[in-house]
Amino acid sequence: MKFSMLPQVFAQMFKKPFTNKFPAKYIPSSTTKFLGDVGSGKAEIIPPIETPEGFRGKIVYDKDRCIGCKLCIKVCPSDAIEFKPDEKKVKFYLARCVFCAQCNDICPVNCLSMSNEFLLADSDKYSKDLIVE
Amino acid sequence: MMAGKKRLNPEEIVKSFKDEFKAKIKNTRIERRTKGPSKHEFVHIWMKVDKSIFKDSVKHLATLQKYPHLAVASGNDLGKTIELIYHFSIYYGVPLGEISINISVEIPKAKPEIETICDIIPGALITEREKQEMLGVKIKGIPDSRRVFLTDDFPEGVYPWRKDETGPQKMIRNLHEVKK
Amino acid sequence: MKTKQTTKTTYHIPIGPIHPALKEPVAFEFEIDGERIVDVDVSLGHVHRTVEWSATKRNPIQILYLAERICGICAYCHPATFALAVENITNIEVPERAEYLRVIQAELERICSHVLWAGVAAHEIGFDSVLFLTWQIREKVLDLTEYLTGNRITKGIVTIGGVRRDITKEHHPKIFETLNYLKDNFEKLRKVYLDDKTFRMRAQECGILTEKDALKLCAVGPTARGSGVKKDVRVDQAYFSYADLDIECVTPDMLTGEVNGDVYDRIIVRLLEVKQSIDLIEQCIDKMPAGDIVSEPKVAKVLATLKKAGGESIGLMEAPRGEVIHYVKLVEGEEHPFTWKVRAPTYNNIMPWIPMLKGEQIADIPIVAASTDPCMSCTNRVAIVDSSKKYELNKEELHRLSVEKTRRLMA
């Protein structure tokens, strides 16, 4: 049949678009002005789609339970964990983390877990948001 | 294709090679493993052949199945020799009937040469070119001996897979060792 | 007046490495006489990242994540094949439930990959509305993957001895909802690809690979099956739990009754495989027994076992594009492997490009090259070569030629 996609295309004209328009419906002409408007309450950010349970986002570190065994350093594929010998605790560099959660699996005292935060873009590799300790 | 030929079981395959080449086949082993809940078996055959009969052994394999499937050829650097392992598989197309045959050949580092098998299996061209550039093996009779994965301006005489002084040690830069 | 004698020669046209028809870099050099292609030369090596060498500095658990990042679309098959090879060396026994779970993840990845390819093939012809439809369907499958494993692409679900996460009864409603959505939309896709005139006139009698060529050049995957060669690792040398499932090798004569070896046959093979995958997932969920999901839950113990193990072995698997083989050699007393060789399926599917492209027109290059579903990231292991040529066809030009041919044929 000649125009097999036509019914599909026609029906789409009356439906909502499939794309979720995060953060705004159209690109703002100035991003800093848009962020300023959001801060003062004049504009609204359309939220992203909800992440499911079990999503691997930013790591959450329970410092008091850590015993300094260094097993997580042994198994990290991208060398993103540093040991602090004076305190016997560790420090995570999120600029190198690949969010594999292998350190969660191997930790003997279960002091690590993954949150659902994923909006982590930054221009400085060693900024405060990207280091967990 | 091979509808009329009888399919041999692994012991018969090894026996046919040993009958043909006598003492030049060494270290054969047949590995049988069971997999999955119904515990069906799969078979891997490993053989070490002498360099002088390598091409004849591949021709003998082609008599068991008309077009044996060459998956890839991998290589090991063992100090004084280089070991090349060709991974073949025959009897594909038969459900649960495929057998993997791995033929390994050792060649001395002082004179690393081996013959091509591109006239028997034309699909072996890319894997042979890769061995030439990565291990420094010279393949005699290869139709096309250009580099396949390394760039044209990669230095001559440096072979990435080797573990001796011709390896790529001098070309390594650890980019992530900055201030932490 | 003397007349000048001129000789007729062929043009050499280079295409790539920043590539016109593919999403990955490959450099072609075509010898052209008018509009027909006379000869083809392929050069690789534009995405080499020294993956195999990096593995000699890491222990096997770290290599699983390195293997995942070899390619984005085949992000499940490389760690799974590596785990198969290591389990063969050390004779680790994988529990039955884990084998079924691995099959479910493999088939989900196959559906994602084939639907993505269907959209790319439609885009090469110029049929963009189908591209958007297929990628919309794919979004639902990726949502299901995110729900089951934690991430859309880099799943991180395979470990040595089993899988890391289980599929419980709470997950079943979402799985069945996605499978029903797929079954409803499969009929739409089937009508567009197989009944519509557009695909038939562009894809039939184009890019033919004969059965003899496919056997001689060791082609794998849907490229070989589209020519009638029955090569499928899931059926021939079953791994995971495929021996207990009802599966058969898909060839085009199941739908049309004859085998031509052209681009249209490869489209048929891939669409039928999507249907087969949906069926396999349902069978697995039915037959899965209760039990452990990993043979040794303490990762530190696994690392200690692997350090003491020695030997060599291979692992074979059927990725969406064909057969993947990994060769691993471990040394006793050392954590890092001695050798790791990866061979991705596109490696074997490069040589068949030459007989497929000879005799075709330039405007057919995108669809023929895309019909083997090449994945260069899997194939390569280095850097970019600069070639100074005088006559270059860039990406937009080739795509425009392909779209114009479709319009010409439709008029």
- The number of distinct structural domains making up chain A is 2
Contacts of C288 in chain B (CB under 8 A): none
pLDDT on residue C19: 62
Kindly report which listed range (B12-21, B124-133, C357-366) carries the lowest average pLDDT score: C357-366
Could you tell me if residue A77 is inside a domain?
yes
Contact A133, A89 (CB under 8 A): yes
Residues belonging to chain A:
133
Separation in Å, CA of A46 to nearest CA in chain C? 20
Q: What is the mean pLDDT of chain C?
A: 83
Q: Is the pLDDT of residue C8 over 80?
A: no
Could you tell me if residue A51 is inside a domain?
no
User: What stretches in chain A show pLDDT beneath 70?
Assistant: 1-2
Could you tell me if residue C372 is inside a domain?
yes
Q: Give the residue from chain B lying closest to A96, CA to CA.
A: B176
Domain co-membership, A79 together with A33: no
pLDDT in tens, C162-209: 999 999 999 999 999 999 999 988 888 888 887 878 788 888 888 888
Contacts of B180 in chain A (CB under 8 A): 82, 93
- B74 with C341: Cβ contact below 8 A: yes
Q: Is the pLDDT of residue B85 over 80?
A: yes
Separation in Å, CA of A39 to nearest CA in chain C? 31
Q: Is the pLDDT of residue B3 over 70?
A: no
pLDDT in tens, C39-89: 888 777 777 777 888 888 888 999 999 898 888 888 899 999 999 999 999
Question: Which tokens in the block code for residue C157?
Answer: 């679900």
Could you tell me if residue A54 is inside a domain?
no
Could you tell me if residue C3 is inside a domain?
no
Please provide the CATH number assigned to the domain covering B10-171.
3.30.460.80
Chain A interface test: which of C51, C61, C143, C296 (most A C-beta within 10 Å): C61
Q: Is the pLDDT of residue C328 over 70?
A: yes
pLDDT in tens, C335-353: 899 989 988 888 888 888 8
- C382 with B95: Cβ contact below 8 A: no
Domain co-membership, C241 together with C133: yes
pLDDT on residue C7: 67
How far apart, in whole angstroms, are the C-alpha atoms of residue C89 and residue C309?
Answer: 8
- A93 with B176: Cβ contact below 8 A: no
pLDDT in tens, C213-223: 889 888 999 98
- Return the ∠ at Cα C116 (arms to C114 and C119), rounded to 5°: 110
SS3 A109: coil
Could you tell me if residue A76 is inside a domain?
yes
- C327 with B121: Cβ contact below 8 A: no
Domain co-membership, A32 together with A63: no
Domain co-membership, C95 together with C169: yes
**B103 or C256, higher pLDDT:** B103
Count chain A–chain C contacts defined by CB atoms under 8 A: 70
Contact C193, C201 (CB under 8 A): no
Could you tell me if residue A69 is inside a domain?
yes
How far apart, in whole angstroms, are the C-alpha atoms of residue C405 and residue C364?
Answer: 9
- The number of distinct structural domains making up chain C is 2
What amino acid is encoded at C172 in this protein? H
Contacts of C69 in chain A (CB under 8 A): 98
Of C323, C340, C357, which marks where a domain is finished? C340
Q: Give the residue from chain A lying closest to B177, CA to CA.
A: A79
- B76 with C229: Cβ contact below 8 A: no
Contacts of A81 in chain B (CB under 8 A): none
Domain co-membership, C303 together with C376: no
User: What's the helix, strand, coil split of chain B in %, to 5?
Assistant: 25, 30, 45
Contact C343, C324 (CB under 8 A): yes
Per cent of chain B over pLDDT 90 is 7
Domain co-membership, A123 together with A69: yes
- B180 with A93: Cβ contact below 8 A: yes
Mean pLDDT of C371-388: 51
pLDDT on residue C82: 93
- Residue C396, domain CATH: 3.30.390
Interface confidence, given as ipTM, is 0.89
Mean pLDDT of B172-176: 69
Chain A interface test: which of C141, C152, C299 (most A C-beta within 10 Å): C299
Name residue, tokens 């679309």. Answer: C73
pLDDT on residue C18: 74
- pLDDT band, residue C263 (cuts 50/70/90): confident
How far apart, in whole angstroms, are the C-alpha atoms of residue C99 and residue C161?
Answer: 10
The radius of gyration of chain A from alpha carbons, rounded to an integer in Å, stands at 22
Domain co-membership, C22 together with C114: no
Question: Which tokens in the block code for residue C176?
Answer: 């069945």
Q: What is the 3-state secondary structure (H, E, C) of chain C?
A: CCCCCCCCCCEEEEECCCCCCCCCCCEEEEEEECCEEEEEEEECCCCCCCHHHHHHHCCHHHHHHHHHCCCCCCCCHHHHHHHHHHHHHHCCCCCHHHHHHHHHHHHHHHHHHHHHHHHHHHHHHCCHHHHHHHHHHHHHHHHHHHHHHCCCCCCCCEECCEECCCCCCCCHHHHHHHHHHHHHHHHHHHHHHHHCHHHHHHHCCCCCCCHHHHHHCCCCHHHHHCCCCCCCHHHHCCCCCHHHCCCCCCCHHHCCCCCCCCHHHHHHHHHHHHHHHHHHHHHHHHHCCCCCCECCCCHHHHHHHHHHCCEEEEEEEEECCEEEEEEEEECCCCCCCCEEEEECHHHHCCCCHHHHHCCCEHHHHHHHHHHCCCCHHHHCCCCCCCCCCCCCCCHHHHHHHHHHHHHHHHC
What strands lie across the sheet with A89-93, from one edge to the other? A81-84, A89-93, A131-132
Domain co-membership, C183 together with C332: yes
Domain co-membership, A109 together with A80: yes
pLDDT on residue B1: 39
pLDDT on residue C281: 92
Tell me which residue of C361, C364, C356 sits closest to C403, measured CA to CA: C364
The domain of C129 spans 59-340
Domain co-membership, A24 together with A76: no
Contacts of C238 in chain B (CB under 8 A): 35-36, 40, 42, 96
Domain co-membership, A111 together with A75: yes
Tell me which residue of C352, C350, C371 sits closest to C44, measured CA to CA: C350
Domain co-membership, C80 together with C168: yes
The domain of A102 spans 59-132
- pLDDT band, residue C378 (cuts 50/70/90): low
pLDDT on residue C393: 47
Domain co-membership, C276 together with C128: yes
Q: Which residues of A touch B (CB under 8 A)?
A: 79, 82, 93, 96
Mean pLDDT of C85-97: 90
- Residue A128, domain CATH: 3.30.70.3270
Contacts of A84 in chain B (CB under 8 A): none
pLDDT on residue C387: 33
Q: Which residues does residue A132 pair with via DSSP β-bridges, in sequence order?
A: A92
The enclosing H or E element of B69 equals strand B69-77
Per cent of chain C over pLDDT 70 is 89
- C384 with B151: Cβ contact below 8 A: yes
- pLDDT band, residue C102 (cuts 50/70/90): very high
Of C313, C340, C367, which marks where a domain is finished? C340
The domains of chain B are located at 10-171
Domain co-membership, A128 together with A99: yes
